[in-house]
């Protein structure tokens, strides 16, 4: 699934126009990036957590020449899947958004008894 397909799925699932779904998705991605840029994390219960990890400095090799090189320490983006997502991926649970229960009709009024 690419971004355009995801936008269409969001629009259909939430009853929004494609432009509204696009704006919502972009705002969500922007908020996650902003929080992670500050070194924070974002937890979406059942789906997963986005966090910032640290990778230490290390020595590597240039594959073309075989020479050793120093690789600097850096921060990396991490994603850890939540329990519900793991269940869906492993086929233990069906995925997709929960559908709203159908609205119940108001009870019919009883006709007044004539005396």
- 92-105 per-position pLDDT tens digit: 887 665 544 445 55
E strands, 1-115, where?
Answer: 42-44, 48-55, 58-61, 68-71, 74-81
The alpha-helical segments, DSSP class H, found in 15-106 are: 18-37, 83-89
pLDDT digits (tens, 9 = 90+) for 35-77: 999 999 999 998 999 999 999 999 999 999 999 999 999 999 9
Q: Using CA atoms, how far apart are residues 24 and 7, in angstroms rounded to an integer?
A: 9
- pTM of the model as a whole: 0.69
Per-residue pLDDT band for 32 (boundaries 50, 70, 90) equals very high
């Amino acid at each position: 699934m690419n971004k355009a397909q995801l936008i269409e799925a969001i629009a259909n699932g939430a009853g929004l126009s494609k432009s509204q779904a696009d704006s919502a998705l972009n705002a969500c991605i922007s908020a996650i990036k902003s929080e992670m840029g500050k070194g924070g994390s974002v937890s979406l219960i059942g789906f997963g957590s986005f966090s910032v990890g640290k990778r230490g400095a290390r020595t590597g090799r240039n594959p073309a020449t075989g020479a050793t090189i120093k690789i600097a320490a850096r921060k990396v983006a991490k994603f850890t899947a939540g329990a519900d997502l793991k269940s869906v991926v492993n086929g233990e649970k069906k995925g997709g958004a929960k559908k709203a229960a159908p609205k119940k009709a108001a009870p019919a009024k009883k006709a007044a008894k004539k005396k």
